[in-house]
Amino acid sequence: MKKYILYFILTFALFLSGCSQDKPTAGSKSPEGDTIVTADPSSGQITEKKPAISVEKDIGSDEAKTNNHESDFTYSIDDDSCMILGYTGKRDEVRIPEKIEGKPVKSIFAGAFQKNNTIKRVIIPDSVTMILGHTFYGCAALESVEIPDSVTYIGDFAFAFCTGLSNVTIPGSVKTIENSAFFKCTKLTSVTIGEGVNYIDLHAFRGCTGLTDLSIPDSLTIIEDHAFANCNLSDDDTIEKIKSINPKAFERYLFD
């Protein structure tokens, strides 16, 4: 008899709770949508239980930008920095990591991406200070490269024969544009050289036959012979400025 009375009381209590807007009904989600309320008629016990939640991580645009795929690189680590030695990935957009194994990536070794014909875009982090010689030599598919203000050195032939590269901005932190750094980048049409660059070495832009738009800074004081041989600059003031520094800057090279 007591059991039936208890069952009746419990059923009535649940009916009242179902009519209340402030309490969840048995077996339903709470207003917050994260609690399940259940009742056992035989024992009269009411329990609340958190459901198991499956979280699927959504990688937003900001996180995607930091997803650097460290496994795509070979590298060398010393006490306080990391050097990129090579690239083994197959991606057409390469975002060089700012850090690997907790060490800042400060330099890209000579020939690290040489003759890679898959890469179309390269983003270099502002941890990098040195791009050594032949780093992107012969990367014919390369169309775009972002060079940060942290870079102070671009080595010889670093971007030579990047025949798909259309424009480039060289920050003023780079004091010297080395020998043949952009040699025969035939589709290079626009180059901006930042205030602070003071030296352009031999053949730096030689054979850039598509180069028509060039911005040079007042800091530029030395331009070596043949630096702009076979270029087709369109601005007379820029041409005269270069010639005033070195009349042989546009002179054709003997073996062209």
Residues 55-105: tens digit of each pLDDT: 333 323 343 344 457 889 999 999 899 999 999 999 999 999 999 999 999
Residues 117 and 9 in one domain: no
Check residue 35 and give its pLDDT.
Answer: 40
**pLDDT of 68:** 55
> What was the pLDDT predicted at 255?
76
Contact 205, 182 (CB under 8 A): yes
Which pTM value belongs to this model?
Answer: 0.73
Q: State whether 147 and 246 are in the same domain.
A: yes
Split into its structural domains, the chain has a count of: 2
The full length of the chain comes to 256
Mean pLDDT, the chain cut into blocks of 10 residues (256 residues total): 47 46 40 41 44 32 50 94 96 95 96 97 97 98 97 97 97 97 97 97 97 97 97 95 97 82
The predicted pLDDT at position 254 comes to: 79
Q: What is the pLDDT of residue 237?
A: 95
Does 233 lie in the same domain as 155?
Answer: yes
Q: Are residues 107 and 178 in the same domain?
A: yes
In this structure, what CATH number is given to the domain that contains residue 151? 3.80.10.10
In this structure, are 45 and 90 located in the same domain?
no
Q: What per-residue confidence (pLDDT) applies to 21?
A: 44
Q: What is the pLDDT of residue 115?
A: 97
Q: How far apart are CA 228 and CA 8, in angstroms?
A: 97
Gap between the terminal Cα atoms of the chain? 110
Given a contact cutoff of 8 angstroms between Cβ atoms, the answer to whether 167 and 189 are in contact is yes
Q: Whole domain around residue 31: which residue ranges? A: 2-49
33 and 90 both lie in a single domain: no
Distance CA 167, CA 216 (A): 14
Asked if the structure places residue 99 within a domain, the reply is: yes
Claim to verify: residue 110 and residue 167 sit in the same structural domain: yes
